[in-house]
Amino acid sequence: MASCLTLKKSNCKNCYKCIRHCPVKSIRFSAGQAHIIDNECILCGHCFVVCPQNAKEIVNDLERVRVLIMSGEPVVASLAPSFIANYEGAGIESMREALKKLGFFDVEETAIGATMVAREYERLLEEGNRDVLISSCCHSVNLLIRKHFPEQLKYLADVLTPMLAHCKDIKRRIPGAKTVFIGPCVAKKDEGQESQGLVDAVLTFEELTEWLENENITLKREAAPCDESRARFFPTTGGILKTMDQNAPGYTYMALDGVENCIMALRDLEQGKIHKCFIEMSACPGSCIGGPVMEKYHRSPVRDYIAVANYAGTRDFPVAQPEPAEMQLRRKPVIQNLVIPGEEEIRKILREMGKYRPDQELNCGSCGYNTCRDKAVAIYQGKAEVSMCLPFLKEKAESFSDTIVSNTPNALIVLNEDLEVQQVNQAAQRLLNLRSDQDVLGDNVVRILDPNNFLKVLDTGRSVVRDRQYLAEYNRYVEQTIVPAEDGRMLVCIMRDVTEEEGERRRKEEISMETMEVADRVVDRQMRVVQEIASLLGETAAETKIALAKLKESVSHE
């Protein structure tokens, strides 16, 4: 059978909010993605309501209903009594007028079926054969019992829901009719699929609203009061009780809403602590007016209750009560083959989660499970991952970062926006001649370093990168990098000790200078030699010239 809730994987962001709010933990995580476990899900819709990324989607049946209408057969809408809260001021007549424009043959209130169901409950209680009787109107409660408390099925009323009773009555009265239930519930889509043809399609109020808007149909805001029907109280907590004559001898009547409260009552039943009572159970807080579609898009508990109360009458709808056999529906348990791990398997998984002792089991619930042991069981069953443990990931990340910080050869100092020292690693302690980080934690950085670069980063928001400085107090040269973190509220200073590099550089500079000086002296000396040679050559040339001149003169006289 097709699932009524689907997952938009691209929107699922590893937040685990759905599993934290799932009352029966029917969500499996794999590779950081949530997957609904159909065999365990009770379709309460909590995951749909709380998902911050709208990754959970309700299957849309609009096209299915359009096809039904186009078939030419009479399509009758069964309208949940909570419509008066969802469509403020619109009574059944204005809803009928609008839906007929969409092509519906007729529109009736599901409260008609609710009247039949309430009378059947009264009949069962009057027989006095039931120790405890649980209402069967809420499909999520029915699924809760069938899937998670199958031993308590004997207490669940084997009676049709108002939706099924009404749609069955419509098909009896209108030959060939197709039925479409419209309400605020996800679970009704599943119930419709299981109905063996009693319900042909199910729409949520959201789908109906979308359809009306697409067709530019506006609802008239006129809800004419009338004496009918008490069954319009059904979508409120205690609404079933309001429609019943609570006079079965020896019985206590009570109403519970919210899955958690229903689970606690079922556990009390398991232990034999509850007897001789009728329990109205609703999965949604506030009952149907707190349904998942209404809660996500139209959640006003007090105003919604007042709307229902003002529209409800004091008498029942005049209905022909079917025979008991026609109202009967036996529900079967849904078998779950979950393997429960032994103590050794649980301890092994706990160790993988970094929990070696009971005091390390924080039971913080961040993973969605109430206890670390519950989470370990879920891991064993393939429903959860070790990485879903927030304290485990935090400790792992801190351990990893602490290992890096503690063992890096570079000095690391973390300051807050007031330039107060928040963290100093061992390399920084050695560089700055500190005995312990406690010597400077909480002190202003001016005590150990020149604050000018830090003030510059605070003012500009831009990092200082590889600024070479001489720390005269420590007789060291460092290469200083300062970067802002956490939107400028923290500063991280990384200093690399370059004293040896600086000494080597200076030695090279000295050697270079000495080499240049020697070269200059050699050049000077060579220039002097050249000049002396030139001088000597000049004197010799002059004397030779004079001698030759005299020789020439004597030859010419002869």
**Mean pLDDT score of the chain:** 89
- On the question of pLDDT at 40 being above 90, the answer is yes
Q: What is the pLDDT of residue 327?
A: 97
> Residue 263: what pLDDT?
97
Q: Does residue 149 fall inside a structural domain?
A: yes
Which of 407, 442, 468 lies at the terminal end of a domain, its last residue?
407
Asked if 418 and 401 sit in the same domain, the reply is: no
Q: What is the DSSP letter of 155?
A: G
| Structural domain contains residue 553 | no
Residues 386 and 522 placed together within one structural domain of the fold? no
Radius of gyration of the chain (CA): 43
244 and 304: one domain?
yes
How many alpha carbons lie under 13 Å from residue 417 in its C-beta half-sphere? 7
Question: Do 413 and 495 meet the contact criterion of CB atoms below 8 Å apart?
Answer: yes
Residues 313 and 399 in one domain: no
Question: Is residue 295 scored above 60 in pLDDT?
Answer: no
466-485 core/surface letters (b: 16 or more CB in 10 A; e: else): eeebebeeeebbbbbbbebe
| Domain contains 201 | yes
Has residue 552 got a pLDDT over 70? no
How far apart are the C-alpha atoms of 141 and 133, rounded to whole Å?
13
Q: Which helix (H) or strand (E) holds 279?
A: strand 277-282
Among 220, 208, 228, 225, residue whose Cα is nearest residue 90: 220
- The yes-or-no verdict on residue 26 having pLDDT over 80 is yes
Instruction: Answer yes or no: is 555 within a domain.
Output: no
Paired with 490 in beta bridges are 416, 485
Q: Percent of the chain having pLDDT more than 70?
A: 93
Same domain, yes or no: 458 and 491: yes
**What does the pLDDT read at residue 397?**
62
Q: Is 49 helix (H, G, I), strand (E, B) or coil?
A: helix
In a domain, 27, yes or no: no
Last residue of one domain, picked from the residues 297, 325, 353: 325
Return the top range by mean pLDDT from 3-17, 181-195, 458-472: 181-195
Q: Please answer whether residues 25 and 19 qualify as being in contact, where contact means their C-beta atoms are separated by less than 8 angstroms.
A: yes
Report the candidate in 159, 327, 307 with the shortest Cα–Cα distance to residue 236. Answer: 307
522 and 399 in a common domain: no
Predicted confidence (pLDDT) per residue in 327-346, tens digit = 999 999 998 888 889 999 99
Check whether residue 427 and residue 507 sit in a common domain: no
Residues 237 and 351 reside in one and the same domain: no
DSSP-assigned letters across all residues of 357-409: SGGG-----TTSSSSHHHHHHHHHTTS--GGG-HHHHHHHHHHHHHHHHHH-S
* Tens of pLDDT, residues 227-240: 888 999 999 999 99
- Shared domain for 414 and 401, answered yes or no, is no
In the DSSP assignment, the letter for residue 286 is: T
pLDDT for 47-70, tens place per residue? 998 888 888 889 999 999 999 999
Structure tokens at 1: 């059978």
Task: With a cut of 70, say whether residue 296 has pLDDT above it.
Answer: no
Whether residue 24 contacts residue 41, with contact meaning beta carbons closer than 8 Å, is answered with: yes
Q: Are residues 402 and 424 in the same domain?
A: no
Clarify whether residues 535 and 478 are in a common domain.
Answer: no
Q: What is the CATH number of the domain that holds 349?
A: 1.10.15
Could you tell me the pLDDT band of residue 558, with boundaries at 50, 70 and 90? low
Same domain, 402 and 416: no
Note whether residue 548 is domain-resident.
no
* Domain finish residue from 360, 387, 407: 407
CATH of the domain at 423: 3.30.450.20
Cα–Cα distance measured from residue 199 to residue 197, given in angstroms and rounded to the nearest whole number: 5
**Domain assignment of residue 308, yes or no:** yes
Number of domains in the chain: 4
What local confidence, expressed as pLDDT, does residue 437 receive?
A: 87
Mean pLDDT of the region 159-188? 97
Domain carrying residue 507: 502-543
> CA separation (Å) from 360 to 72, 269, 344, 350, 369?
66, 34, 17, 10, 16
- Average pLDDT value for residue range 442-450: 93
Reported pTM: 0.73
Domain membership flag for residue 468? yes
